[in-house]
Amino acid sequence: MMLQKQRVAFEAEKQIFESAKLTFHGVDGYDVYNASIPFTWDGKEYMYGRVERRSEWIRSWVRCFEKSGKDDWTLVPDSMVYQLKDPYVSLIGDTFVFGGSHMKFKGGGLDTYYGYFYRGSDIEDLYYFTTGPDWMKDIRIVELADGRIGVFSRPRNEDIRKKYGSESMIGFTIIETLDELTASVIENAAYIPGVFAKDEWGGCNQAYLLDSGLIGIIGHKCYPGPMVDGVAAQIYMCISFVLDPEKQELMDLKIIGTRPCFPEGPTKKPHLTDVSFPSGVVARPDGKVDLYSGLNDCEVGRITIGNPFEGYGTIKNIQGGTKR
């Protein structure tokens, strides 16, 4: 497979300046993984994390953690408990937007899942405002240079496979305001060609407006591995690419992180030993970035790497709120 060859080439030449795992306090007996990127609000640094017992699956909650040291995070007391998984955050103007995937069950089994979205001017008082399409995760939004909003979709179904060969696609469209973010708009976003090859899947995990007006995207790209106990291993890697929002032109698609880039650790299930599900990157003063990623569905890791968007524009970290 071409993607496997690209991985081998990446791992032979990779530059990892620092590699660590995050420690989370206040949730004893639970794992924290597939977190949001860290963000600053009212002068403090926070991160939302998916909280779940190692022995359970899709029985998760999203909680808010405050930074308490280097790679050290502590649960915010009495913070909201969201019945979601895989959270993400964005800033649209002065409005903080928080989202995650909600799993719906029926008759004892999984019926569907969809994205829930919340917004507000205070992370302690967010309002639900819309739901994404059925069976769609990894919906992301980003404010554009002219104040409009870029929307990334990620359909994954058998129709996609039959038409494109890949298991999923990434779509992109532009809306004027958050009130226009509806399931129909997301579902009808035009597909970006060239991201996934045959039998691959993935999506957008975090989008950044660069000062050039281009969009920098951190995402995941996946392919099936060998069978493990009768289940195909799932190989997840961290990728980046750049999108021209006006031309919808894809540029500089590349691998920026794989599971071996992070410290060794446990796994939730035997077929999930090679999973790095990125949160996104945080720009550093030295010009490098910290890439955060969920690991094997049970931990969060961080690696310091070169800026994946170098030459295309400067990343702006998420900072908001007013000190009380």
Q: What is the DSSP string of 273-316?
A: SSBEEEEEEEE-TTS-EEEEEEETTTEEEEEEE--TTTTT----
In the DSSP assignment, the letter for residue 298 is T
Our CA dihedral for 308, 314, 320, 324, rounded to 10 degrees, sits at 110
Please state the φ and ψ torsions of residue 282, each to the nearest 5 degrees. -125, 125
Bridge-based pairing state of the strands 72-75 and 23-25: parallel
Residue 239 domain flag: yes
Taking the model in full, what pTM does it have? 0.97
Residue 147 domain flag: yes
What pLDDT was estimated at residue 58? 85
Q: How many CA atoms lie within 13 A of 87 on its CB side?
A: 29
Q: Is residue 171 pLDDT above 90, yes or no?
A: yes
Average pLDDT over residues 188-200: 96
Residue 15 domain flag: yes
CA–CA separation, 35 vs 30, rounded Å? Answer: 14
For tokens 């990892």, the residue is: 16
In the DSSP assignment, the letter for residue 284 is -
CA–CA separation, 298 vs 61, rounded Å? Answer: 13
> Cα 10–293–89 angle (5° rounding)?
125
Residue 288 domain flag: yes
Q: Is residue 322 pLDDT above 80, yes or no?
A: no
Q: Is residue 287 pLDDT above 70, yes or no?
A: yes
pLDDT band at 323 (very low <50, low <70, confident <90, very high): very low
H/E stretch holding 12 reads helix 2-13
Give the count of beta carbons closer than 10 Å to the beta carbon of residue 270. 10
Bridge-based pairing state of the strands 201-209 and 190-191: unpaired
Count of domains observed in the chain: 1
Residue 234 domain flag: yes
Residue 321 domain flag: no
What pLDDT was estimated at residue 1? 72
The most distant pair of C-alpha atoms in the chain lies apart, rounded to whole Å, by: 55
Q: Decide: helix, strand or coil at residue 141.
A: strand
Residue 177 is which amino acid?
T
Residue 110 domain flag: yes
Looking up residue 83, the CATH number of its domain turns out to be 2.115.10.20
Average pLDDT over residues 113-118: 97
Residue 163 CA: distances (Å) to CA of 137, 152, 158, 168, 240: 20, 20, 9, 10, 25
Please state the φ and ψ torsions of residue 180, each to the nearest 5 degrees. -90, 0
Residue 317 domain flag: no
> Cα 54–3–170 angle (5° rounding)?
75
What pLDDT was estimated at residue 55? 97
Residue 194's domain comprises 2-311
